[in-house]
Structure formats: C-alpha cells, structure tokens
Structure 1
C-alpha cells in the first residue's frame, strides 16, 4: 500500500491456514480495500499462515506471547489507520460494502467511536457447537448478557429499526466487542485515553470503555459476519476449560481480568454471582436451551444445559485442585 491507510485491520494469528485465506479474500473484496492495511500478528505459526497472509499483502508482525490479547496491543501500536478493526482469522465479511458502510456511519454520526457487527453465523463445517458459539459464546456469557438474535435485537430495543446507533444509559450492559470485526476510531481513542490506549488491560476492555465513555455504539442491521469456528463437541469443551482457567488463574496474561473488571454495571455484578444458583435450579438452563433451540431451529442448542453444568463442575474441580497445590493448564491458544 503506497498511501496512508484509512483503516487498519488487527488480526492475531496462530496456525490459521485452514481459514485465514477465506478471511483475507473477504477483506480484499471490500469496496474500500485500497484504504485498508492488514496487520497479521502471528504467535509462531508452524503451518502456512504467514505465507498466505503475505500473499494477500498483509504485514506480518511477531507476537512472542502467542495469545491474542498481547497481539492486539502490538497491532494497536503499529496501526497507521485512523480506524482499527479487530478481526480474527476465522471471521469472514459477508458483503463487499460492509467496511464502507461503517465508514459512512462514523461520518454521519460523529458521536459514535465504536461499531460492532450485528450477528455471527457459523461456517458450513463448524461442528456441533458452532451455532452455540456464534449465538452465545459460552454459557456464562449467555447468562450474563441474555443475547438473542444479534446485537441490535438484544441491546437496541429502544432504537428505531432504521437507526444504526445504539444508545446506553450509565450502568447498562454493553455489547461484547472482543474481536468479531469490532471497529474503533483509533485517533479519538489516542486523544481520549493518552496514557492507556496501548496498555493490555485497556485494549482487552476497549469496547466497553469506549461505549461507556460515549454512551453509544454503531450497529448496522445486516452487518453480519460468517464465523468459521471449528467446534465439535469435545473441541468446545476444551475451549470452555481454557476460558475457565484463564478467568481463574491466568487473568493478567490473557486480559480477562480487564474485561471483567471493566464491565462494571449493576446487572453484571449481580448476575455473575447468580450463575451458580441459575445452574442449581436445573429448570433455568433447560428452559433456555429449549428456547434457543426453537429460536434458531437448531437442536444442538439443547446442549446449553450440558455446557452450563460442565462449566460449573470444572470450576469446582479447578478450585479444589488449586487448594491441593495442583497446577492446571489447558493447551495454549491456537492448539
């Protein structure tokens, strides 16, 4: 790219050869592709990830920590664009005008400094848990945020259908903007948070900090992402174990502590303690699983109750193991 980019895409990677080419193709098909730079921050891939990235004109940067949170900091520091997009190596743009539409939103609504996608759809070969990941993330996140049919439906019930701006009162839950092609006004962030913008704790909680500071975020109806997540049943259980361990024992390393600490609203603070009670009722997880299965016309969502109890039992196991001095560490990110 010869001229100064307007948009920098920050893409943490590790052994992502199976999906990254599809994702990069969707970026290069954007109508404003000539204004986009792609920064692939790689954690030591041993497959063809780096070669594929360079083939599509991406700048490949080193991530000695492998995890995506430090990679995002590296990307923020190296980004040359006014705007940055946090995009994972398995998140594909569905339409070629999506980035252009977001740029238009920023221009028309200067109060907006963060834009999130509306809905994530699983790829064609995602596995049994792919729809659940796209719709819920994990059972704890689903319990806290009660996500339902995309961001606009979940958070924008007071917003007119044609209005791309979601507005929030102090203390209200905000959309999770961790990856998922969330787009930020980096120039504004640097001016507003001059001492924090490149700190890992800030970067991991950036969407919440920005939305809480402005009281709004952008979300365009139909601005959806295809998430090529690989998630069979056993693979997803492994992902859940990894999340539990990072929340309990590796908070500073992964940045989960910043995300949790920064989501300071009344509903979040109460609900995180209610999760165990929710699981103990049995009826709650069962009803939610049935409701989501009917809503998505996907019987795999009935596994919600299994995931809820698996997380609870694994948390209990980890806490007991820690008391006994046993170290627990699931395979690292990307494996």
Structure 2
C-alpha cells in the first residue's frame, strides 16, 4: 500500500517526552499507510534511540532550528499528505483519519487547534478563547488567521517550503502565508491536539513579553526583514527545566510574601510611633461653665 500520510516530528533533546507522543500516534485509527518521521535536530540525549525504539524513521538535521528540521523531514517524506506536529504532543484516536478526510477538492492544507496539558490557570482561559475566535472568523470569512505547527497538514505536492532563515514563526505565520498562495486552507476546530505547557510555566508576564513578544513576534519581524537569523531561537524548555522553573517560582512567591509581610509590619510599627498620645490631665477636674 502506498504511503498516504507522513507525520513529521522535529525533536531536540526530547527523549523524556517523545515516547508518549509516538505511543499516541501508534494508537491512531486510520485505514491508510502512515510513516512517522522523527528529525533529530542535533540532540544531546537519547532522542534518536527513543524514536528508533518506537519504529519511527529517524533523520538527522545538524542545523539547529525547528524550521530546518521540519524542512528536512518534509523533503524526505513519502506520503501524499504531510502532517506537522511536535514531540511533546498527544492525539485523539481519530485525529489522523479526520485530517485525511478534510482533503477534498481544492484543499491544500488542514489545520486545527491545540490544548495545553497541565496548564496554569490563565493558559486554560486565554488560548481556548483565541482558538474560538479563529474558528468564528473562519466560519464568517472562510479565512484561516493562524496555524499552529503542532496541528497542521498539507499536500506534499503543494509544499511551498519553510523559510529556514526564521528561527521562530517561520513554521506557522510565514508558512500559512505561503500555503495560501497554493490553494484553500481549512480550519477544523473539532480536531484538537494536546501539547505541553512547559514554556508557559515561567508565568503570564514572561510568556507574553518574552516568549511571544520577543522570541516570536519581534524575532519573526526582524529576521524576515533581514532575511537571516539576526535574533536567535528561544531557549529550549524541557522537563528538567520545568521542574527547576517551578522551584524558582515557589521560592520567588515565598520571598515575595515574606517581603510584603515585613513591609506591613514596618508600616504598622511606624504608624503607631507617629500617632499622637492623649493629653495628660493633672489635678482635679473643674466645671468651667
């Protein structure tokens, strides 16, 4: 049977999470032939060994960068449809079949939302609202406003290539712009994946300002104008880093609470010292009326 679907997974030091992702893919219910490609993006751990143990086709891309890794995997894919996802993601049993069913007529790509596993409170609210807004816009206009590279598939014959000079966003915002030139992109709001929230564990402000503001939006704009990676890729966050970040945040919260408590005590003590004392009355009281 010819390969119908090729799932491409870029992986850098993902030995800790890749096994669960590949096990989730093995449970997919589809009648088509599927190949799973793991692109080892210069890992320093046992990522390649884990991929081989689960029967994945392992490629090596020595150039660091997710766009270079996805490009390597896509060019080597044998399937008619290439599915892009990540090494820290889980899938519903019918995920691949639903993707394949979406390729009708002039459709060149099918994209869907993602959910964040074990997310902080704000990531359980704002990303779902964002994806709901994308779905509403698609229903009204037929236009996909954004794709996440952890849940998008496209026809290999219509592959426009990734801009490998972009370290962030080239596999999403820029890639969507290129796909639109080839044909119709479909948004399937009912076919989500579940991915790690590890990059969000540094807090709301850090995620908005640093992760998305600097490493994503500014990085994408500057590198696209310069046509080369002037700004480097965001630092990798892995499970061991998540534990370290959580410990640091707990220490920060304890230290902040202690500082606030000390400030309250100091202010209370100072206000008592400044309060005027009641006048002292000596001698017998007299009626002065």
How many residue pairs get aligned? The number is: 229
CA distance in 1, matches of 2:165, 2:31: 31
> Helix, strand or coil: the match of 1:113?
strand
Cα deviation, residue 67, structure 1: 1.6
TM-score, structure 1 normalization: 0.58
Is 1:210 the equivalent of 2:203?
A: no
CA distance in 2, matches of 1:240, 1:58: 37
Q: Which has the higher strand share?
A: 2
CA distance in 2, matches of 1:59, 1:239: 36
Cα deviation, residue 29, structure 1: 0.9
Task: Give ranges in structure 1 of 5+ residues lacking alignment.
Answer: 137-146, 159-166, 169-173, 191-195, 262-326
Which of 182, 190, 200 does residue 164 from structure 2 map onto? 200
Instruction: After TM superposition, list the pairs within 5 Å mapping 1:96-135 onto structure 2.
Output: 96-106=93-103, 109-117=104-112, 119-123=113-117, 125-127=118-120, 130-131=123-124, 134-135=127-128
Instruction: After TM superposition, list the pairs within 5 Å mapping 1:179-198 onto structure 2.
Output: 179-187=149-157, 189=158, 197=161
Mapped contact 1:7–1:82 kept (Cα < 8 A): yes
CA change 1:331–1:155 in 2 (3 A) is closer
TM-score, structure 2 normalization: 0.66
- Residue equivalent to 1:177: 147
Which of 152, 162, 171 does residue 135 from structure 2 map onto? 152
Mapped contact 2:114–2:148 kept (Cα < 8 A): no
CA distance in 1, matches of 2:61, 2:235: 14
- Residue equivalent to 2:280: none
Which of 165, 189, 193 does residue 225 from structure 1 map onto? 193
Task: Give ranges in structure 2 of 5+ residues lacking alignment.
Answer: 239-289
CA distance in 1, matches of 2:15, 2:100: 29
Q: Larger RCO: Structure 1 or Structure 2 (Cα < 8 Å, ≥ 6 residues apart)?
A: 1
CA distance in 1, matches of 2:204, 2:57: 30
- Residue equivalent to 1:53: 51
Cα deviation, residue 58, structure 1: 0.9
Mapped contact 1:19–1:228 kept (Cα < 8 A): no
- Residue equivalent to 1:241: 210
Cα deviation, residue 68, structure 1: 0.6
CA distance in 2, matches of 1:39, 1:240: 33
Mapped contact 2:108–2:182 kept (Cα < 8 A): no
Cα deviation, residue 179, structure 1: 0.7
Is 1:42 the equivalent of 2:40?
A: yes
CA distance in 2, matches of 1:61, 1:77: 11
- Residue equivalent to 2:65: 67
CA distance in 2, matches of 1:35, 1:236: 44
CA distance in 1, matches of 2:126, 2:60: 28
CA change 1:234–1:47 in 2 (3 A) is farther
**Is the radius of gyration larger for structure 1 or structure 2?**
2
Cα deviation, residue 35, structure 1: 1.3
CA change 1:79–1:239 in 2 (3 A) is farther
CA distance in 2, matches of 1:88, 1:97: 18
Mapped contact 1:86–1:178 kept (Cα < 8 A): no
CA distance in 2, matches of 1:49, 1:133: 32
